[in-house]
């Protein structure tokens, strides 16, 4: 590929040189015609025509070389792709050797078994740890029997703990007059507290 690319570059340089030569020969032919030298002008035009044919041949060769470079590049890309596919296939084959279809089926069955066990556990827990409606009703009745017994027992214990309290009077207390000096003393102490 490198040789083809070098040949392509040489052909492109040669074609550029031929195009420059054609321009120079055209100018010389014009100058010779202007000086009246028709034979020399014809000679320059023949050389120009020869250079033009040579440039066309170089263009065809250059096109062929470019096509070959493109073909080789695409073939190299195809080879890289095939190598990558081969590597992928080998990796998949190694993975399949580690785990077969039967292994996957067995694993899925084990997962399903574990899911079944989990569902059974959840069903048992949802039913109240295995108690049916009859057991629940019997337990609730027993609880209702215990509650009044406990309340009676607590009431008896409270009565035993609390000593007899004196009876508070129910009539109105008499009005007592406070002397004026005693009323002023708390007011003065309140003012002092505010000032400080």
Q: Is the pLDDT confidence value at 196 over 60?
A: no
Q: Is the pLDDT confidence value at 60 over 50?
A: yes
Segment 133-143 mean pLDDT: 72
| Of 170, 166, 189, 186, the residue nearest 178 (C-alpha) | 186
Q: What is the pLDDT of residue 180?
A: 63
CA distance 79 to 72: 10
DSSP 99: S
Q: What is the pLDDT of residue 186?
A: 55
Q: What is the pLDDT of residue 85?
A: 92
How many other CB atoms are found less than 10 A from the CB of residue 68?
Answer: 14
59, 79 Cβ separation under 8 angstroms:
no
1-85-68 Cα angle (round to 5): 20
CA distance 194 to 196: 6
Q: What is the pLDDT of residue 13?
A: 85
CA distance 127 to 125: 5
Q: What is the pLDDT of residue 127?
A: 72
Segment 55-80 mean pLDDT: 86
Average pLDDT, the chain: 78
What is the pLDDT confidence band of residue 81, given thresholds at 50, 70 and 90? very high
């Amino acid at each position: 590929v490198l040789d083809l690319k070098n040949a392509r570059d040489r052909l492109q340089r040669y074609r550029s040189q031929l195009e420059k030569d054609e321009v120079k020969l055209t100018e010389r032919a014009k100058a010779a015609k202007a000086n009246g030298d028709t034979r020399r002008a014809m000679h320059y035009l023949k050389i120009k025509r020869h250079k033009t044919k040579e440039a066309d041949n170089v263009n065809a060769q250059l096109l062929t070389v470019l096509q070959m470079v493109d073909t080789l590049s695409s073939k190299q890309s195809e080879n890289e792709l095939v190598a990558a596919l081969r590597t992928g296939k080998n990796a998949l084959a190694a993975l399949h050797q580690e785990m077969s279809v039967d292994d996957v089926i067995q694993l899925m069955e084990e997962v399903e078994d574990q899911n079944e066990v989990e569902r059974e556990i959840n069903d048992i827990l949802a039913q109240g740890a295995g108690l049916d409606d009859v057991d629940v009703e019997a337990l609730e009745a027993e609880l209702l029997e215990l509650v009044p017994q406990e309340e009676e027992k607590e009431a008896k214990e409270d009565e035993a703990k609390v000593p007899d309290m004196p009876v508070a009077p129910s009539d109105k207390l008499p009005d007592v007059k406070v002397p004026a000096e005693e009323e002023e003393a708390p007011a003065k102490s309140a003012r002092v507290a505010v000032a400080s």
